[in-house]
Chains A and B, each alone.
Chain A
Amino acid sequence: MSKLTSLSEAVRQHVHDGDLVYAAGFTHLIPFAAGHEIIRQGRKNLVLARATPDLIYDQMVAAGCARKVIFSYSGNPGVGSLKWLRDGMQNGSLEWEEYSHFGMISRLQAGASGLPFMPMRQTGALDLEKANPLYRRVQDPYGGEDVVVVPALCPDVAIVHVQRADSEGNAHIWGILGEQREAAFAARRVILTAEEIVDADVIRSDPNRTLIPSLVVSAVCHVPWCAHPSYTQGYYDRDNDLYLRWEEISKDETGMQAYLDEWVYGVKDRAEYLSKLGEETRERLKPGLRLSAPVNYGSY
C-alpha cells in the first residue's frame, strides 16, 4: 500500500506539540526540509534528540519549537558552536540531556531492539555519568566489572532521509549510515523522505542495501534536496560554505530572524527553497560519477 504523501501533510499528521523528535543523520542525510516544515507549522515544546544537533536544531530552537534537547555533540564541527543551543543552555531557557556519542546511539540501539537498556564498558570519565542520572551502573551478572547502562530511547517520531525508496517506504541507503536505521526502528512513527521514489523492483534488485523496511514507516515523502545544506551521498555535496557562514548568520536575533524569514517562512516548501537556491549552487554541489561494481545475486 502506498504511503506517499506530501511533507507538509506528513508533519501535520505525525509531529505533534510536545513530541520527542529524532531527525536522524550523522553529517549525512540531515532532513533540513522536514525541520523547516516543522518550523513553518509552528510546533511547540518539542524534545529534539540528535547525536549532533547541527544547524537544523539550532534553527528549530531559535524558531521556538523546542523545550529540550538531547545530544552528544552540540557544535558546528570544525567551525565553532551552535549559538542558539549554547545560549539556551547557558541562560537556562533550554533543558538538555547529554550523552557521549556511544551513549546516545546505544540508547537508540536499545530502543530499536526492544530492549529496556544497553550496557557499555566503563570509560573512567565519571562527570557526565554523575551529571546525567539516566546513566546508571549495573553489575555484570556473569562476573567482572560493573557496566554502564543507558535506557532505551523510543522517539515519538523519527525523520529519516534516504537516497531512494519505493512508495511503500522500503528504502535504500548508502554512504555514511549514522543512526538512520536505529532511529527508524526505535521510533513509534517514521517519516521517510527520499531523493527518489523508485519501483519496488529497484529495491528488490539489491536487498542488502534496504536498511529500512516499509513495516516501520508511517509516511513516505518525495523531497529532492531535502538534506541541503548537509548532503546526500552521490546526489549532492555538503554546502560547506553555509556551515562556515553559520557563525555569522546566527550570531544575533536579527541575523537569525532574517535567515528564517528568507529560507524557511519565505518559501512554501522544499521545491520553492530549491528554485531559490538556484541552478548555479546546485551545479556547484553536484558530485562526479563513481559507480560500484555490480554484484550477482544469482537467479534461482
Chain B
Amino acid sequence: MPEPSYNAAELMIINAARLLKDGDQVFVGVGIPNLACNLARRTHAPNLQMIYEAGVIGARPNRLPLSIGDPTLVSGALSVCSMFEVFSLYLQRGNIDVGFLGGAQIDQFGNINATVIGDYQRPKVRLPGSGGSMEIAAWANRCYIITPHQLRRFPARVDFHTSAGFLEGGDARAKTGVRGAGPQAVVTNLGILKPDANGELVLAALHPGCNFEQAQANTGWALKQAETIEITPAPAEEELRILREELDPQRIYI
C-alpha cells in the first residue's frame, strides 16, 4: 500500500469538516476545530456560522487565528458581545448547533477530563481546566471531539468529569435534563467513534488503511464495533489544497 499523501492532522480536520452541516451555528475553538469549520465553509457548508467563546459571532478571519481571542476574529465579524452574553444568549439559550471539545482524557461514555490527573486536591498533573467546555458539552445540540487515538487519551473512566458525555451510560445524561444531545462523534487519526444507543463510544468508521486492531490497541476499554463499519473517503485533493494553501499555509497545525 502506498504511503498516504496526507498527515494525521489533515485527515482529522477533513473528517471533522464533513460532519458539519450548512447553516450550522458552531461554537469553535482555535487550532484544529477552527480549520475544520473554515474548510467546511469553503466546501459544502458556505452558510456555517462560527461563534467564538470570546464573544465573536460570525467571524470571517482573514488569517489563521493563533489565539482564542485573536483580533482577526473581530474584524469583519457579524457581531461582538461580552463573554457573559455569548454564554447566556447564545449557548445557554439553545442557539448553538455544534460545539467542539478537547481534553486530556475521553472515556467510554464520552466524558472528558481537562482538569486533573490524580486527586483534585493533590493533583499529580494539573491541567488547564474547563474553560468553556463544561457548558458547551451540556448545551450545544451536538458535540464533536477531535483527538489523536492514543491509549493514554482513552481510559475506560476519566479521573475527573470536566464535561459530561453520557456519564455512566444508559439514560444517565437524559436524567440530568441537559438540553444538548452530547458527543456525536470522536474523530481520531484511525477512524470515528460514535455513541451507541447506550451512550457507549463504539467504532463506527475507519480511515483508509486503518484497522480495528489498531483502534482497539489504542483504546482503554473493550471497543465494540458498529453494525457496519464505514471506510471514510480519502481526503480529496481540493480539501487538501484549501487546507494547505488557503487556511494554514505556514503549516502551524497541519
Interface members, chain A 74-114 (any B CB < 8 Å): 74-75, 77-78, 81, 86, 89-90, 92, 98-103, 105-106, 108-109
Contact present for B176 and A27 (CB under 8 Å): no
Contact present for A177 and B131 (CB under 8 Å): no
Which residues from A are CB-within-8-Å of B179?
121
Give, as a whole number of angstroms, the nearest-CB distance from B171 to chain A. Answer: 12
Which residues from A are CB-within-8-Å of B92?
102, 120-121
Give, as a whole number of angstroms, the nearest-CB distance from A3 to chain B. Answer: 24
Which residues from B are CB-within-8-Å of A92?
122
Give, as a whole number of angstroms, the nearest-CB distance from A155 to chain B. Answer: 16
- Report the nearest A residue to B158, measured CB to CB: A127
Contact present for B31 and A78 (CB under 8 Å): yes
Assess whether B66 is interfacial by the CB under 8 Å rule: yes
Which residues from A are CB-within-8-Å of B173?
124
Assess whether A64 is interfacial by the CB under 8 Å rule: no
Assess whether A233 is interfacial by the CB under 8 Å rule: yes
How many residues belonging to A are interface residues under a CB distance threshold of 8 Å?
Answer: 55
Assess whether B152 is interfacial by the CB under 8 Å rule: no
Contact present for B80 and A176 (CB under 8 Å): yes
Known: A90-B125, A101-B87. A77 touches B162 (CB 8 A): no
Known: A109-B84, A240-B67. A90 touches B138 (CB 8 A): no
Which residues from A are CB-within-8-Å of B8?
none
Interface members, chain A 113-131 (any B CB < 8 Å): 120-128, 131
Assess whether A231 is interfacial by the CB under 8 Å rule: yes
Which residues from B are CB-within-8-Å of A126?
161
Taking chain B's interface residues, is the majority helix, strand, or loop, or is none over half, making it mixed? loop
Assess whether B123 is interfacial by the CB under 8 Å rule: yes
Contact present for B55 and A176 (CB under 8 Å): yes
Known: A75-B128, A126-B161, A127-B160. A100 touches B133 (CB 8 A): yes
- Report the nearest B residue to A101, measured CB to CB: B132
Partner of A27, one of B69, B132, B134: B69
Contact present for A100 and B178 (CB under 8 Å): no
Interface members, chain B 20-78 (any A CB < 8 Å): 30-31, 53-56, 66-71, 73-76
Contact present for A26 and B69 (CB under 8 Å): yes
Give, as a whole number of angstroms, the nearest-CB distance from A127 to chain B. Answer: 4
Taking chain A's interface residues, is the majority helix, strand, or loop, or is none over half, making it mixed? loop
Contact present for A125 and B83 (CB under 8 Å): no
Which residues from A are CB-within-8-Å of B87?
101-102, 105
Which residues from A are CB-within-8-Å of B139?
121, 123
Assess whether B232 is interfacial by the CB under 8 Å rule: no
Q: Mark B199-234, 1 if CB is under 8 A from A, else 0.
A: 000000000000000000000000000000000000
Give, as a whole number of angstroms, the nearest-CB distance from A131 to chain B. Answer: 5
Q: A81-B128, A100-B135 are in contact. List 17 more A-B contacts (CB 8 A).
A: A73-B128, A74-B129, A100-B134, A102-B88, A102-B92, A120-B135, A121-B138, A123-B134, A124-B173, A127-B162, A128-B134, A131-B120, A175-B74, A177-B81, A177-B82, A181-B82, A240-B66
Which A positions have Cβ atoms within 8 angstroms of B?
Answer: 26-28, 51-52, 71-75, 77-78, 81, 86, 89-90, 92, 98-103, 105-106, 108-109, 120-128, 131, 145, 174-182, 231, 233, 237-238, 240, 243, 287, 290
The 4 closest A-B pairs by CB, nearest first: A27-B69, A75-B128, A124-B164, A73-B131
Which B positions have Cβ atoms within 8 angstroms of A?
Answer: 30-31, 53-56, 66-71, 73-76, 80-84, 87-88, 91-92, 111, 115, 120-135, 137-139, 160-164, 167, 173, 176-179
